[in-house]
């Protein structure tokens, strides 16, 4: 049986709930009756576990299936499958893949990532947007509606505070990936940008300082200098 990775998200989930996830993972799709048979529990017990997992957003019924098991004459039983959130409860190794791609394609990969970030930020922002409006848009540089990224105005300057790095494992292995955010903010705002706090230094956050009174000297992608070399 497939093992769900150990995660704080799953601490409050019963062992039976974990087993339901594993059954659906192994079979790709499963009805409540199939789950009950696999776990050796009653249909009602299986139904409760399945509905709880569905409530949490880890499984759903939008599955591509060839043939459904009949629950009653003329009525097929619902088939359940993992949602993207449910899939992410199982072991993944995105970081090593990203590191491999960065090592293989080098600066070209980082330039492409930067271009993508800039395009994303510009998509919902007018060309005439003020710096304050651009910084409000920059709050979603990684994730739409990101609750862990904030923007503070400090005089003429702005600071984007990132409390949750979406690719921290990669950033620890290859800090150059963080230069994509610095370069993207510089291109998007047209101002100089310095990352003054860093997850890699144990700060528990990254802070990107956007200098309101200092125009960017270039808009090309470049690797940010070591912290001790910054002015």
Q: Residue 61's domain is classified under what CATH number?
A: 1.10.10.10
- When divided into structural domains, the chain yields a total of 2
Q: Cβ distance 160 to 149 under 8 Å?
A: yes
| pLDDT given for residue 138 in this prediction | 94
Instruction: Point out the domain boundary residue: 28, 52, 87.
Output: 87
pLDDT digits (tens, 9 = 90+) for 152-175: 999 999 999 999 998 898 999 998
Please list, in sequence order, all residues whose beta carbon lies within 8 angstroms of the beta carbon of residue 4, skipping any fewer than 6 positions away. Answer: 10, 18, 21, 22, 25, 89, 90
In CATH, what number is assigned to the domain containing residue 107? 3.30.1380
Query: In this predicted structure, what is the pLDDT of residue 10?
Result: 62
pLDDT at 151 > cutoff 80: yes
Bigger pLDDT: 157 or 6?
Answer: 157
How large is the average pLDDT for residues 50-68? 80
Q: Could you tell me which residue, 155 or 146, shows the higher pLDDT?
A: 155
2 found inside a domain: no
Residues 46 and 132 in one domain: no
Q: Which among 90, 120, 98 has a CA at the least distance from the CA of 22?
A: 90
What 113-119 contacts at long range (C-beta under 8 Å, 24+ apart), as own/partner pairs, is 113/177, 113/180, 114/180, 114/183, 114/184, 114/187, 114/221, 117/141, 117/180, 117/181, 117/184, 118/184, 118/187, 118/188
Q: Same domain for 153 and 117?
A: yes
Range of the structural domain that residue 112 is part of? 94-229
Q: Are residues 101 and 28 part of one domain?
A: no
**110 & 192 share domain:** yes
Tell me whether residue 184 is in a domain: yes
Written as six digits, the tokens of 145 are 């509606």
In a domain, 1, yes or no: no
Encoded tokens for 70: 């009949």
């Amino acid at each position: 049986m497939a093992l769900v990775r150990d995660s704080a998200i799953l601490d409050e989930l019963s062992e039976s709930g974990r087993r339901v996830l594993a059954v659906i993972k192994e079979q790709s799709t499963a009805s409540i009756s199939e789950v009950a048979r696999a776990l050796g529990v009653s249909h009602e017990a299986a139904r409760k576990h399945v509905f709880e997992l569905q409530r949490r957003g880890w499984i759903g019924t939008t599955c591509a299936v060839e043939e459904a098991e009949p629950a009653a004459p003329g009525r097929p039983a619902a088939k359940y499958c993992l949602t993207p959130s449910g899939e992410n409860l199982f072991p993944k190794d995105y970081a090593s893949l990203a590191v491999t791609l960065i090592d293989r394609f080098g600066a070209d990969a980082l330039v492409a990532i930067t271009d993508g970030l800039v395009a994303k930020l510009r998509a919902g922002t007018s060309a005439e947007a003020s710096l304050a409006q651009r910084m409000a848009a920059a709050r979603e540089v990684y994730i739409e509606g990101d609750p862990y990224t904030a923007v503070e105005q400090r005089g003429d300057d702005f600071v984007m505070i990132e409390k949750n790095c979406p690719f921290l494992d990669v950033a620890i292995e290859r800090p150059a990936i963080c230069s994509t955010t610095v370069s993207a903010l510089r291109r998007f705002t047209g101002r100089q940008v310095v990352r003054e706090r860093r997850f890699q230094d144990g700060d528990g956050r990254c802070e990107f300082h956007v200098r309101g009174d200092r125009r960017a000297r270039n808009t090309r992608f470049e690797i940010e200098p070591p912290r001790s070399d910054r002015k």
